[in-house]
Structure 1
Amino acid sequence: MAIFQRARSQEQRDIRRKSILDAAAAMLLEMPAAAVTLSELSRRVGLAKSNVLRYFESREAVLLDLLDDAAREWLANQAPHVTAKVEGVVPVGQRIDVVSESLANGFAAEPVLSDLLSVQAAILERNVSTQLAMRYRKGVLTSVSGLASLLSSVLPELDEGHSFDAAKTLILLVRSIWTESNPADAMKAAIAQDPSLCMRNSFAVELKNAFEVVLAGHIALQHNTLP
């Protein structure tokens, strides 16, 4: 039986924190975030639960860290991609279409990020300290501001306020549409028996359609062109 040795230096603590995060990230490739347990995470890392809690205050804290990292990495990758996609596209309607499709495909290509976003409010923010909640929420605002900046750069018809509001709504749409696109087993079985019960297209298509409505709506609101 392995004997736990407490990490003494900051470097050792950082290495152990990373090993916990890496183990959790690997679990997310196998199961939804809601199914990740502290017991299984501890087993995979080779530490007692009490020792994992020396580095993260809860299972939710681990997953919030992963969500924060995933969101920042996703935005860093999407910004140049979306910018390149709209280069040379002049009509605003076409740019809305291109931006919506690019962002929707970007989220669809990162199911772990979309899954973490879908349980953020209902699960991940429920078992954390006020201090961690404040730190995490600041990270969320930074990510939303980054997405807003991307939107205003490719859709200059949106001012800062509308870009930020649109960015917030896009994230909310990812959360809800991912949940609807990944129903519980009983609903999957019901839909398999009666396909008419399915009220959705693919995740990417539903996102694109919803994103287009939000972006076009904010541009219309800003420029007073609503019918």
Structure 2
Amino acid sequence: MSAGFQRARRPEQVAARRTAILAAARELLAQRPVAEISLRELACRVGLAKSNVLRYFDSREAVFLEVLDGEWTDWLDRLEFGASADLERVAGTIAATLAERRLLCELISSMAPVLERNISLEFARDFKRRAAANTERLGGLVRARVPELSDAAARHFALGVVVLVSGAWPLANPTEVVAAAAAELGGAPSFADGLAEGLTNLLAGLVARRR
């Protein structure tokens, strides 16, 4: 920690410090998976003691959940399906754009098993509200292109996107040993292709059940 460290007191100072911590987290995530990044390393990157990082965030996990929320929101801000989009195009667009966002997919796959395990009730409530809003927003975007879906079905599909990414991303990014073994058995579809297939089937099934 810098000898000249001063605690941020004014709201704009707190916001600036939080922004600096999130920026450091993003820098580290560009170099290695979230599971390999410690609170100590994050604190050193931003020039603070661990205890001072915890003045601004509940925990190491809370920092990365904030990064996840930012990535999720940015993806939704940029998600476009085109003027005419059938079921396959909607599913394919979601899969293709997610495949381009390594960080978002990694954090989604780490959300439930890792990042939500060491946060306070207050932070959990706030984060889950934001996650629900993101899910609702995705459902609305999909329903605008697939009007056959009910609101409930659109929400179910949006939750399905999270579930499928959570499972498909780790499988598509195995260790070198597992990748070598899988290659000997003929390999597997790419993350984007496998996700697109799964989302198309989910979407088609939801539409069919409504008829």
Q: Given the two structures, how large is their TM-score scaled by the length of structure 2?
A: 0.95
In structure 1, distance between residues paired with 2:207 and 2:2: 60
Report what 1:92 is aligned to. none
- Which contiguous aligned blocks of 4+ residues in structure 1 show a shift greater than 6 angstroms? none
In structure 2, distance between residues paired with 1:197 and 1:131: 47
Q: Unmatched 5+ residue regions in structure 2?
A: none
1:178 to 169, 191, 209: 169
Report what 1:218 is aligned to. 206
Report what 2:31 is aligned to. 30
In structure 1, distance between residues paired with 2:149 and 2:84: 18
Per the TM alignment, residue 160 of structure 1 is displaced from its structure 2 partner at its CA by: 0.6
Query: Given residue 175 of structure 2, which amino acid in structure 1 is its aligned partner?
Result: A
In structure 2, distance between residues paired with 1:131 and 1:202: 38
Report what 1:5 is aligned to. 6
Per the TM alignment, residue 2 of structure 1 is displaced from its structure 2 partner at its CA by: 2.5
Per the TM alignment, residue 88 of structure 1 is displaced from its structure 2 partner at its CA by: 3.7
In structure 1, distance between residues paired with 2:84 and 2:156: 26
Contact 1:152–1:158 (CA<8 Å) still a contact in 2?
Answer: yes
1:132-171: CA deviations, max 9, x gaps?
1111100111000001001110000111111111111111
More moved, 183-192 vs 26-35? 183-192
Q: Unmatched 5+ residue regions in structure 1?
A: 90-94
Aligned residues: 210
Report what 1:20 is aligned to. 21
In the alignment, structure 1 residue 63 sits paired with structure 2 residue 64: yes
Specify whether residues 202 and 50 from structure 1 end up closer, same or farther in structure 2 by C-alpha distance, changes over 3 A only.
Answer: same
In the alignment, structure 1 residue 206 sits paired with structure 2 residue 183: no
Per the TM alignment, residue 30 of structure 1 is displaced from its structure 2 partner at its CA by: 1.2
Specify whether residues 88 and 58 from structure 1 end up closer, same or farther in structure 2 by C-alpha distance, changes over 3 A only.
Answer: closer
RMSD value over aligned CA atoms?
1.3
Q: Percent of counterpart pairs with the same letter? A: 37
2:128 to 130, 137, 153: 137
Contact 1:157–1:219 (CA<8 Å) still a contact in 2?
Answer: yes
1:18-62: CA deviations, max 9, x gaps?
000000011111111222211111111011111111111110000
More moved, 183-192 vs 140-149? 183-192
Query: Given residue 61 of structure 1, which amino acid in structure 2 is its aligned partner?
Result: A
